[in-house]
A and B are shown apart, each in its own frame.
Chain A
Amino acid sequence: MGGYISSQSVKKIIEINPYMLGTMAGGAADCQFWHRNLGIKCRLHELANKRRISVTGASKLLANILYSYRGMGLSVGTMIAGWDEKGPGLYYVDSEGGRLKGTKFSVGSGSPYAYGVLDSGYKYDLTIDEAAELARRAIYHATFRDGASGGVASVYHVGPNGWTKLSGDDVGELHYSYYPVEPAVVEQEMTEAVVA
């Protein structure tokens, strides 16, 4: 069953709360459950402290939980993206217990291909539209080369007022805009054989 595609419509961007998103790579159930659990803990933090939790704090909550299950077989490769008092925040967290702060990440089986596109086009001062287009292209190229990636490429934006979904495109359709077919130069055209 390893090569079977169970679904082309899995939500890999998980809405933890209206101003924080988590991405899914690895075990679907592990990511879904622990992101939902993180959302609960973030809400409890708000109720206990009368203020929103920071992205630093939320990512650390998740990382500490995953570290405590280290070696037990959980498979989680996630990015926590959000907006707090310090501005935008992005952390990479995984089930080995790793937690890294950064400005750009790519996670999953298609990540090397996405990194290629991401690294060559990235600048810190991209506009929102430019950044969304770069992200969309990076995902598309990953789905093109990695057999385990495909389906729909979703793009979200996280701002001071929370997240919004910018686009959701079938990568089969994106192919025709990103990989246009150049009309081939005809070297030798076949003609009907002359019957004597």
Chain B
Amino acid sequence: MTKEHANWSPYDNNGGTCVAIAGADYCVIAADTRMSTGYSILTRDYSKICKLADKSFMASSGFQADVKALQKVLSSRHLIYQHQHNKQMSCPAMAQLLSNTLYYKRFFPYYAFNVLGGLDSEGKGCVFTYDAVGSYERVGYSAQGSGATLITPFLDNQLKSPSPLLLPAKDAVTPLSEAEAVDLVKTCFASATERDIYTGDSVEIIILNANGVRRESEQLRKD
């Protein structure tokens, strides 16, 4: 009487953690570089961050094959947009494109947990956080992936970002300086690495501001 279940799953979880923090005039997007399967490490040096547009970077944890496919779909859609409109897509526009792309596979989802970070048209930092099927909201900071449950309470404590739903409206972006935010991100990953087996090796940090893009890397525990 019980339904026969498949012996094979099309999905796998490659682990990893992604974080993004929005500031008044900057955005920090970070992800660890460990790629695992089960209890094995496949590589210590895999980038989970993808540049979708000049001012939009996406960090994704989950099943990296689906993440790669998603990155390719979004990059090609951005290229078409550039051909048709002769300009780069804004971060909020890319955010909605990502949401729709995820929902189109509502009945066979991309197993990808995404954080989109960038600068909006006013130059303010923006971070968008997603679930696997495309529901999204703009937030002041976000963590996704295997270490998210360890990092998010810490960020709630340190950043205290007021909800965008409050009236009178309060600014969701953190008042921290860029250097403080980068240091906070490094602390997040150092802590998550201690207690999450799927997070570690090194953290890749992208810093977006009015002057352009900067990339930093910090070594993490490899055990």
Contact = CB atoms under 8 A, between A and B. Distances in A.
B216 to A, nearest CB: 28
B168 to A, nearest CB: 8
Interface residues of B, number: 20
A1 to B, nearest CB: 8
Interface in A18-64: 27-33
A9 interface: yes
B5 to A, nearest CB: 17
Interface in B132-147: 133-137, 139
B100 interface: yes
B102 A29 contact: yes
A33 B129 CA distance: 15
B167 A165 contact: yes
Nearest to B103: A33
A9 B107 CA distance: 26
A1 B186 CA distance: 25
A28 B166 contact: no
Residue with the greatest number of chain B CB neighbours at <10 A, chosen from A7, A27, A165: A7
A169 B166 CA distance: 6
Contacts of A166: 167
A72 interface: yes
A11 B137 contact: yes
Contacts of B134: 29, 32-33
Interface string A168-185: 111000000000000000
B131 A9 contact: no
Residue with the greatest number of chain B CB neighbours at <10 A, chosen from A28, A29, A166: A29
Contacts of B102: 29
Given A32-B99, A33-B103, A6 B131 contact: yes
Q: Which 5 A-B pairs have the closest CB atoms?
A: A28-B135, A29-B135, A168-B167, A9-B163, A29-B133
Interface of B: 99-100, 102-103, 106-107, 129, 131, 133-137, 139, 149, 163-167
27 contacts: A7-B129, A7-B139, A8-B163, A9-B139, A10-B135, A10-B137, A11-B137, A28-B131, A29-B103, A29-B131, A29-B134, A29-B135, A32-B136, A73-B107, A151-B163, A151-B165, A152-B163, A152-B165, A154-B165, A154-B167, A165-B167, A166-B167, A168-B163, A168-B165, A168-B167, A169-B166, A170-B166
